[in-house]
Structure 1
């Protein structure tokens, strides 16, 4: 009903006005198109001018592009503009297409529509934003497309405070990039350059200041995926008039100072008070998390201000701040101290250095003071179980607690989980006929438990059985028949156990081999692309995963039939320990993976690739039906005589061939020695090229001498060699030396081990 109402209202809205630009705007001349361009279009002008007076905030934008080809037509012939009608107005100044030096008006009301934007509808959020969609007529390669508009207004929830972000580069080249902010308000405005941005030029004007920059021929900046959230990949400037975090906290206190009243609220409090005192906080959390649906009606000031608890209880839904205020109100009503807290769900360690601003936060949680100590609770996380004091920390790094006297951010510790949060055991058993059974037991603990619990409770059994079977067919690359799928839930221990039973028609492949392979461990290894990269790589940490494979056979397995070894890969950001044993007639393979650091620096990439490959090598183990275990069918009595005669003949032949075999063996050894000597003579100067065979050197300086060629394969001079990190492989610490070619980005490595 809510969505349909929004669609009906917004679809009937009139088009925005088309009017001249504000008098204070100072348009710039369009520069010439550069001789060399690339891509589908080139940005000629990117001009933003902002004016902040005591009673109004206005932003004027102008863009001018050169269309280079047909993909550029596809990209620029449709234009979209968005605004929030609850606090802003939008005015279009014009859309134009230039061809052969002539400018024509490209605004046609019949080709324009105002539509609801609602980008976060799938996540249950409604913010009421609108967008104007224009389909431009007759745009061709070689044309120039231009538009200009002004947005006026600001969200009143910030009470006149302003935070603005202004980029100094983008994903396409710009001939002329201009930004100008005229500040005419009483509060002091601060500018914080980030990501290598140039500080703005600051001049004074009547009643205020002007911050500006004009940049020419700005190159495109490529965006690299998987970078930590505190890495500034583009240069930009943050403007803010928030003086400190205490000011932000005082502002937020007024938003959450809403009374909790109403019959439904009173009834809930009565229910909680009827429980033993030690159960009240846990039940209040369960009610808010599981009985209040996550739906955010974030229209106008409710983008940041919660609805009062009576509003939430009447509807049975709310967003993060609504749930947080309801939870805090319920806990306080039963004498449990609790406070709202603001967080950024993407915040990395560098968030602590951000300039103070309310605009940094995109989520609300609660800080609850339990008898065992304070704990952060996320009201939007569902199906959590177990005592509150034993739950894993929320997956955020910093919080601004909305409590009197708070003057800064609170760090949220995320220690390595003591027990694996994802623990998988594969139990294989082969029969004498070569078939097998497979049982997989997955134990989810900590934050993984509610995730698995949600997956189970929100799907049908048929859907679960189909999806898990398909997942295992992909994991093992073989056809499996599911016998059963069962699960159990230990709420007090916050542990969910899923058990899968399968039959396997053929354990060995056509070559008589079977590959045991991990499913969880191999999936959590971080593989870096080989393409050049300048930004760090984001790592999911802390992470603690364990996997075990057991294999039993119709006949007991014996240790002498297997190559058994333990291994440790201790890398910059992860630790993998593997063990292999044969005990009680079973082959047992075991792995533990821990991600220890949240980011991988470019200087660590080479060592990480080596460590990841070494780790991946340990996650597979191959057994062969002929060399390890032979599956034999029982012999009939009538076959025994023939078998005995056959054995006797084989023994006579072996005796006759022994003398010839020894002579041939001596001949083959001599030829092999000649081949080895020849190979060694060809490998002079190649020491340390393999990580598995590091060169032993007295110092890193000696290791640098292992690089013998002066030029890269394309003939350019190598840069000086540098240390590129290290990795522990088993009991050895191997140092990686690297040199690069700055012309073609070629690289080569040497691996050395320092003498003790």
Structure 2
């Protein structure tokens, strides 16, 4: 067989061979160069800040770098097993290595159980697994995994094991570089780092995020570098941080002094592969004969490599960085990024077009300049092409870039190392993304009669990356599925949607833009509001709304990544009927350092056309932490700005036609059923009228309170929540204890903000009868810090007071002596109030102690139990237990859909709200597709979290111990940082069990 067939056969045999092998692997003695030092292990178990069920007692790495021989890497681990999760996770040790150029030596595996040391290697099952972790990305590295399955690992065991990996990839020509981590998302009691440097060239060291003193000791044949750190504290990165962001401490080691050395290493690898064979020469001549200009030649060469050579990376051994010969890639019709780039460059070379390979780091971007020079810093290769003194960057691994070369999209990786003899430094790429944009034109033709169908058509033009992505979607999904997905998307907004003209997709030969057209008819387009006697129609700039949604930035410490580049123009043209419509012109603009946004409303009274024009253009790919408040403020200024509604009043003809239409559609309806339906509607109407009147009183009070605060803002310091004793007593009695709950809530809100702890102050206010002693404890701690003694009363007496407070609160709900009992409850709280008032200045107490109209309105809130029970019965207020999704009102579900918490077509299975009055303030639940939680923070900012089931790594449940507590469900994502969010579910009537059972069933169904 020729060499190509031999190579392919060898690769196939390698991939198919020994999926699982067993080998007789023995323990090896420690090499002389390794320095083994004892570790003082604290035998006290602690789960504080631990993850994965272990305490990391020691992580030690030692590296020996000889002058000519390959380096050796020694690792030592000591872990304390804390719980069954730790037993399950760490009963198996896995060590990854490349059998082509490395071998593994196990030195020791043992368990310290009490005072007894137990050898665990002799009873372990040792296997070699071939696990290709990147096979899903079509990359095969040839790495093996040494799997060691341990027997009889128990909670409380201290597991210790160490090993050495000898060898490194020969493709690096024995040029050393290493990155040593010093910090993780878990605490580490001891971190030891040692490098034995035996080379003549100096070792360059760069520390990131730390200034630890690295001890240097001369050796007979080199230098020892040593670092020992105790009690490394954990760090967590906020979700949605930029890929390049790394705040963990680490140290870089390298013997390369400059990027020029990396260029000198890379040029021979690629130069050897870029050779024009007869087949490539013939291909170049064919391109030259069909392409009139060099621009067209580049386009054809790029499209040939992108579309004819499939992506597949056989990156075994030196092939991890050494490209295949161009003619080999052409013949076998597959290759990875470096193989495809080499073929593309070779074709350009045959066409006499100047081009070079460029090494890329797809993650670090501009931060690459902060790293030491190393060939290991790069994970991708693209091509730099120079034509008529203009620079182009092309990626032969991308697909569906059917366009002109000046419009081909290329991600901006910021920096590239071009493999060219004249290159000495990293080169800034300066990518122009103006060619990437989308234009959406939605046209509505509204009929004269509300019962008639509305005509709806959409034309979408996309360019650059957007066109490329759309072509890829069409290729992967197929036109039929794409039609269905487009239809279902719009049907979520307009349930009466039916297809009029099927989706068509065309390519503009002049601009290389992708254009799609589709049209529909919408039945029942107008939403009927019987109370207001009006019909409403809503229009959505849905293509932009997602970029303007509020981000979770409360107390954020890390930068925030946002989508970029994004350039969208969304036009909604509404052709109106011949009524006397009037609309005011409007132009809203928001321009800042992060994005440009505008909304323009134009009305043509002659042609009766209303036009809504939305534009959004991103400027950056991330927001610095210090800039997040400014970014949030910009989003707040245009909040809910991508939705626009119009309305028309009822007319007699409209009303009669609508009712007549409903009657004909229901063959089984009778006059009696119609009467009953009318009566139900009337009951609901009067109920809502009563509720509206009741809430109006609340709103008036809140408005007056806000006005008072704005007119007379307090500029001093409020310590806890001070208030005069007379006002506290009077309002507590007049409001039947509500003011007591409010006062306790405000104090816990102060505690939460000051102490930066996780709690729900509003819940503690509502269930204030259970939180008396907790509030007392916080105040005692405060007193001991301020005055070095307890200035309240003894804790034993506080326990008695707390019990009395709890019992009287429960009794008072049905007692005829409510006022007397309430007065006793107030007396129990007075010592706490007196202490708080003592901490505050007189002006702080006076600020909360004034009387106004709103306080007299509060008297109308004297029957909260009746109010709450009535509201819960009708479902307009949060229930005190878990409910099924079908019990939620449509307006609450529509609210969740508008907030993008759930999609319009999703049905909520189970739901619970921990809010006091409004379901829109707090909610937890799930559909058949996702889990969600939303809430208002202390600043009334609306926040929410969602996760699809396939995005969930684990679900942890902390069951409530009493009916007054919530069961807490922790949803852990399977992203890089294992970010999570919480669901709070009432245990009332044990419905939290039902909630969790179905949630687990949904998740396991998807994950399996």
Q: TM-score range by the shorter chain?
A: 0.7 to 0.9
Query: Residues 677-700 of structure 1: CA distance to partner in whole angstroms, max 9, x if unpaired?
Result: 995576334369xxxxxxxxxxxx
Match of 1:330 in 2: 347
Match of 1:429 in 2: 445
Match of 1:596 in 2: 619
Structure 2 distance, partners of 1:557, 1:87, is: 81
**Residues 1:420 and 1:155: Cα distance change in structure 2 (over 3 Å):** closer
With the length of structure 2 as denominator, give the TM-score of the two structures: 0.62
Match of 2:56 in 1: 43
Match of 1:209 in 2: 223
Q: CA deviation at 1:98?
A: 2.5
**Residues 1:681 and 1:153: Cα distance change in structure 2 (over 3 Å):** closer
Match of 1:396 in 2: 413
Secondary structure of the corresponding residue to residue 551 of structure 2: coil
Structure 1 distance, partners of 2:654, 2:122, is: 79
Match of 1:411 in 2: 428
Structure 1 distance, partners of 2:20, 2:87, is: 30
Secondary structure of the corresponding residue to residue 265 of structure 1: helix
The reply to whether residue 274 of structure 1 matches residue 289 of structure 2 is yes
The reply to whether residue 506 of structure 1 matches residue 518 of structure 2 is no
Q: CA deviation at 1:713?
A: 6.7
Match of 2:38 in 1: 29
Match of 2:543 in 1: 520
The reply to whether residue 573 of structure 1 matches residue 594 of structure 2 is yes
**Residues 1:203 and 1:506: Cα distance change in structure 2 (over 3 Å):** farther
Structure 2 distance, partners of 1:392, 1:163, is: 33
Secondary structure of the corresponding residue to residue 469 of structure 1: helix
Structure 2 residue runs without a partner (length 5+)? 1-7, 530-534, 659-695, 724-751, 759-936, 941-1008
Query: Residues 369-416 of structure 1: CA distance to partner in whole angstroms, max 9, x if unpaired?
Result: 112611111111112123213434443211111111110111111345
**Residues 1:107 and 1:681: Cα distance change in structure 2 (over 3 Å):** closer
Structure 2 distance, partners of 1:629, 1:186, is: 97
Q: CA deviation at 1:438?
A: 2.2
Secondary structure of the corresponding residue to residue 578 of structure 1: strand
Query: Residues 693-712 of structure 1: CA distance to partner in whole angstroms, max 9, x if unpaired?
Result: xxxxxxxxxxxx86444336
**Residues 1:478 and 1:141: Cα distance change in structure 2 (over 3 Å):** farther
Equivalent positions of 1:696-707 (< 5 A) are: 707=715
Match of 1:300 in 2: 317
Query: Residues 554-609 of structure 1: CA distance to partner in whole angstroms, max 9, x if unpaired?
Result: x146552x455321223441221111122231221111111112221222222322
Q: CA deviation at 1:504?
A: 2.2
Structure 2 distance, partners of 1:412, 1:266, is: 30
Structure 1 distance, partners of 2:539, 2:61, is: 60
Secondary structure of the corresponding residue to residue 307 of structure 2: helix
Structure 2 distance, partners of 1:134, 1:510, is: 68
Query: Residues 143-187 of structure 1: CA distance to partner in whole angstroms, max 9, x if unpaired?
Result: 222221111101111111111011111121111111111111122
Q: CA deviation at 1:208?
A: 1.9
Match of 2:511 in 1: 493
Q: CA deviation at 1:440?
A: 2.0
1:99 to 109, 113, 116: 113
Q: Greater share of helix residues, 1 or 2?
A: 2
The reply to whether residue 468 of structure 1 matches residue 489 of structure 2 is no
Q: Greater share of strand residues, 1 or 2?
A: 1
Match of 1:641 in 2: none
Structure 2 distance, partners of 1:402, 1:451, is: 30
Equivalent positions of 1:124-203 (< 5 A) are: 124-196=138-210, 198-203=212-217
* More displaced 10-residue stretch of structure 1: 96-105 or 49-58: 96-105
Match of 2:756 in 1: 744
Structure 2 distance, partners of 1:305, 1:100, is: 52
Match of 1:260 in 2: 275
Structure 2 distance, partners of 1:118, 1:46, is: 26
Assess if the C-alpha contact under 8 Å between 1:557 and 1:586 holds in 2: no
Q: CA deviation at 1:317?
A: 0.8
2:17 to 9, 27, 37: 9
Secondary structure of the corresponding residue to residue 99 of structure 2: coil
**Residues 1:461 and 1:104: Cα distance change in structure 2 (over 3 Å):** same
Query: Residues 531-554 of structure 1: CA distance to partner in whole angstroms, max 9, x if unpaired?
Result: 53211112233321221222224x
Quick one: higher RCO (CA 8 Å, sep 6+), 1 or 2?
1
Q: CA deviation at 1:72?
A: 1.9
Q: CA deviation at 1:517?
A: 1.5
Match of 1:386 in 2: 403
Equivalent positions of 1:221-370 (< 5 A) are: 221-258=235-272, 259-275=274-290, 276-278=292-294, 279-370=296-387
Assess if the C-alpha contact under 8 Å between 1:10 and 1:130 holds in 2: no
Structure 2 distance, partners of 1:242, 1:628, is: 82
Structure 1 distance, partners of 2:541, 2:109, is: 58
With the length of structure 1 as denominator, give the TM-score of the two structures: 0.82
Q: CA deviation at 1:82?
A: 0.4
Q: CA deviation at 1:14?
A: 4.4
Structure 1 distance, partners of 2:514, 2:229, is: 57
Structure 1 residue runs without a partner (length 5+)? 636-671, 689-704, 716-739, 751-756
Assess if the C-alpha contact under 8 Å between 1:685 and 1:708 holds in 2: no
For the aligned residue pairs, the C-alpha RMSD in angstroms reads 3.1
Structure 2 distance, partners of 1:677, 1:168, is: 55
Match of 1:541 in 2: 564
**Residues 1:633 and 1:566: Cα distance change in structure 2 (over 3 Å):** farther
**Residues 1:477 and 1:396: Cα distance change in structure 2 (over 3 Å):** farther
The reply to whether residue 710 of structure 1 matches residue 694 of structure 2 is no
Assess if the C-alpha contact under 8 Å between 2:281 and 2:350 holds in 1: no
Equivalent positions of 1:657-668 (< 5 A) are: none
1:438 to 453, 456, 471: 456
Structure 2 distance, partners of 1:441, 1:403, is: 46
Secondary structure of the corresponding residue to residue 257 of structure 1: helix
Structure 1 distance, partners of 2:524, 2:173, is: 70
Q: CA deviation at 1:35?
A: 5.9
